[in-house]
A and B are shown apart, each in its own frame.
Chain A
Amino acid sequence: MKSVRKRQGKGAIFTISSVLEALFSVGILGIGFWFFLTKIVDIHVATLTADNERHAMNLANVLLSYEGLVYEKDGKLQRGVLDVRKLDSFAYGGRSQQLEPNSSLVKDAFRNYKKITFSYPNTISYITITDLENCTEQEGCKVWVATAVGPVNFDENFVKKFIDCLVEHLELTSVQAWSRRLEGCAVGAGFGAFIGSIVPGIGTGLGAAIGCGIGLLTSFFDPHDVSTCGVNSIPESVKYFFTSGSFVAAQGLPALIRLPDGTTHACRIMVGVIEWR
């Protein structure tokens, strides 16, 4: 009887110790989770967005309210109604067969560059306003073209992005990295020695040393990381150009042009944003 009670007591002690051990484990798990969330993980909540498209639409929207462009009646700005007199002083006028500006028109627009208050940093935007009710079969529609150059910001551009990304992926400590580094040096030295032996004045030794140095530098990064960084750093407007063949992201917004005689014409404002950030 006594031994049974003793055994029961022993069991109870083990139960408490097991629970304590488990609670300790849960505590460790909790601390690990907290440490993971605060110190290690860096969650990006904003998904990749079509920045180029958004910026083009935003800029078009802002221009439709710009006092240097819209018709003003009794001191009130008429959003979306563009004053043809303001347009003539705001932009370079010409004719175009298509909605998107042709190359000669863009060239003229750049020659007749006018400073516009609105534009995103590290961008060149070209603005096209097409009068859809003033068209001829031979020359196309009446078009106004202007360019806007945004302020240059060195804090955010594709070169900095690429370098930052490479630095993030710099491998200094792993064994594989060191073996790859030696490999890079050896391959580079081989090539360098070969080139050094051919090119007079360099010599095999110097060629090998230069080749080893270059091979060593390239081996600091994983080729996959370099290509990923490269792809991620390409400005969105360039990616858009390669996929669509055009820099114009937005198809434009409808608006009205008010002529001096009071009549209005339907028009379309298009903004192409070329970004290098």
Chain B
Amino acid sequence: MKGLTIADTIGIMIVILSLIAFFTQIFPKLLDMIVELFSKTSAEAVSRQLAAFITVSGTSTYKILINYTPSKDVIYNVQGSNRLVKVAPSGTYYGESASASAPYATPPDNFGPFENVNNFIIKKTFSESGSSYEVSAEKTG
């Protein structure tokens, strides 16, 4: 009976130590990694960034090329429709499976759809007839 109690106590102690090690060493790193992944690659963040880059390209008075790669590991399906950029992760990632959209203020009104891409190129060029905008996307990495 005594042996049984000691054995149980040792087992519980091992578990408690493992849990302490997990919550103090592994869990914070895991959480940090996940939060970083969220903030860099969530569809919400990417749509806002992309919309902001497209709008910002309008402030340029000379030709400009903006290259934006949110992540090499996460790929997206993207479409611009009536000046609303819609971004959806291609597949399910931690905590972020929903699509997101963000508005932008400059042409082009519509672009895409681009599927399974992670690199976005925003171009503003000037010609005799005035300025023109172009948004393209590709998969890199």
Contacts and interface: CB of A to CB of B under 8 A. Distances in A.
Interface of A: 7-8, 10-15, 17-19, 21-22, 25-26, 37-38, 41-46, 55, 58-59, 61-62, 64-68, 70, 76-79, 117-123, 150-153, 155-156, 277
A123 B82 CA distance: 12
A213 B87 CA distance: 40
A41 B95 contact: yes
A156 B4 contact: no
Interface of B: 2-4, 6-8, 10-12, 14-15, 18-19, 22, 34, 38-39, 42, 44-45, 48, 52, 55-56, 58-62, 81-84, 86, 92-98, 101, 103-107, 109, 126, 130-131
28 contacts: A11-B3, A14-B3, A14-B4, A18-B14, A18-B15, A21-B11, A22-B15, A26-B15, A37-B94, A38-B94, A41-B95, A43-B95, A44-B44, A45-B38, A45-B42, A45-B45, A46-B45, A58-B52, A58-B105, A62-B58, A62-B59, A122-B103, A155-B82, A155-B84, A155-B86, A155-B101, A156-B84, A156-B103
B34 A11 contact: no
A118 B8 contact: no
Given A18-B8, A62-B59, A150 B101 contact: no
Given A11-B7, A14-B7, A121-B84, A277 B44 contact: no
A46 B48 contact: yes
Given A19-B15, A44-B44, A120-B105, A153 B83 contact: yes
A61 B101 CA distance: 22
A65 B39 CA distance: 31
Contacts of A10: 3-4, 7
B84 A153 contact: yes
Contact of A65 (B12, B58, B83): B58
A118 B106 contact: yes
A150 B131 contact: no
A61 B59 contact: yes
A120 B81 contact: no
Given A19-B15, A46-B44, A46-B45, A67 B103 contact: no
B7 A37 contact: no
A121 B83 CA distance: 6
B127 to A, nearest CB: 11
A76 to B, nearest CB: 7
Nearest to B47: A46
